[in-house]
Every structure is written in C-alpha cells, then in structure tokens.
Copies of this chain bind each other. A is one copy, B any other.
C-alpha cells in the first residue's frame, strides 16, 4: 500500500501519525510519502526555518512538544531571549534552542550547495519519521499576506505569512495571499512520482489555503493530482463551521470561501469536474452536509474527526483509506 499525502504542519503531522498506526496494523507492505508545505518557510537571523517540514519530522520522530504541537520537547528559548536583548528583529518568532540546531544543520547544508530535499532527507536520518518526507519544492517560494498597513492606514502592504500568523495572530484582515516566486518553482524530485505512483492519495486536515493551497500552487502539482490514477480523499479541517486549530477561517475568508466543511470540499472540487478530490470526510456534527457534497460529485462520509489521540486519529485514517478504496471501486 503506497500512500501519498500532502501536508501542512500540526494537523497534517498528527493525521499522518494516526495514518501510520492504522496502516501498520492493516497492511503488510506500507510506504508513505509526505509532500510538505514549504510556503511558510522563513529565513530568520540567517537561518532557514521550515516550520511544516520540522513539525512533521519532530512529530513522527517523537521529538515534538506535545502541548504546543510545534517545536521540540524540553525546549528552552535562551537564544531567543538574547536576540531580543540585542534588539534584532524579528523578536516574535519562536526560535527554540534545540530547534536552532536543526536550522543550523539545514542552513549550513543549503549554503554548502545541497538542495532542501537532500537536506530534509539528511535530517530525517536522525529522526526516522517512518515516511519519505519531501518538500513540495526545492525553490524559495514564501507566502506573503496582503494587509492594510497597521502603521500607515489606507496603505496596503505585503508581509511575510509568519509575521501575519504569529505576530498579528491573523488579526489583520488578509486581502490576498501571494507566494513570492511560486511561478518559477518546480516540484522537488520525487513529488510528481509520489502522486502518479500512489495507491491512495490523502489530504489531511491541513489549512486549505496556506498549507494545501501552497502545495497546489507549485506548477505541475495540481495537474498531477487531477490526472493521478489513485483515489484522492480529503479530511475536513473545518468542524461545525470553525477550524479545529489555527486560524484557517481568516485564510478562507480572504479567499472568499465560507468556513465550512462543505465549502472547503467544493473549493477543492470533484475530480470528475476538474477538481482534486474523489472523497471527503466531514465530522459527525457536519453530517447534514454529506448529501450536498455528494451532489457535487464527491463521495462523502461523516465520521468523528477530532484527533484527540493517536487511536482516534488512526480510526479517522482508516475511514479515509476505506472511503478511498470505495470510491475506487465505484469509479
């Protein structure tokens, strides 16, 4: 069973952790490829930080801080305190001391000429996440957010996604997102193959705009999904009209998409109509949406979608795989 998933950070990582558990119980021969979002990467204090790749790597490699959901367990923030004491900006980014080691290794390797995919593979030699973790692209393409300037009313500016997300907690109204450089980005080696050769493709409950949306924006990836032979099933990141975690609502609103399990599914669209999903899981609390989603050509089931622990998440993953195989047989 070859499963390929696209993924953002915390939600994606936790879903894949459950997916691993389920697949290892249910199948003999399992391989999982994760295509990670690098749109929210940032160069900070001279270090290349890849928040989503690291969250996946740390979560699957048992190094994550389980409370925060990002960064390292038993973390300290002494370097960050000192950077603040030096008065160097930005001061709002949560750069942990253990985490810095990852960024030092990555940055030194990138500066030595290795690609992000090569560096990610090297870092994974330590973490052994049990999946093949691929960046969506080796190219620099960072998401920026068009907002009204907080300092200069009436003026619109584009700020880095991380500044909007962390410093402003997505409180500045986003007028649009722009992934600077994405037009010239190419999928990292292995990405298109992971899509075309998969048995099942899953979209975890990651942010549809700035996580999955960024991956889809890499020229070639959306087309590969449209034409993939494997069934594609998504898991709604929206439950009862609100994101389970994070601020996806602010992103969806900027894109003119309602914050609902239904609207996100319809925005991805049915593959039979040129979209990218064959199936969609909504939470039991959104069961009333199932018929409307199915009417749009997307097989839909309502199942419990709260990732409260690994067993609950493994059951979600089982439902996703099961729906994928059902749509396959139906199609």
Contacts and interface: CB of A to CB of B under 8 A. Distances in A.
Q: How many copies does the complex hold?
A: 2
Interface residues of A, number: 29
Contact of A46 (B79, B98, B102, B107): B107
Interface string A82-124: 1101111000000001101110110110010000000000010
Nearest to A100: B79
Contacts of A46: 46, 104, 107-108, 111
B79 A97 contact: yes
A44 to B, nearest CB: 9
Given A97-B97, A100-B100, A111-B46, A105 B78 contact: no
B108 A82 contact: no
B82 A101 contact: yes
A105 B76 contact: no
B86 A123 contact: yes
A47 interface: yes
Nearest to A45: B104
A76 to B, nearest CB: 5
A126 B87 contact: yes
Contacts of A223: none
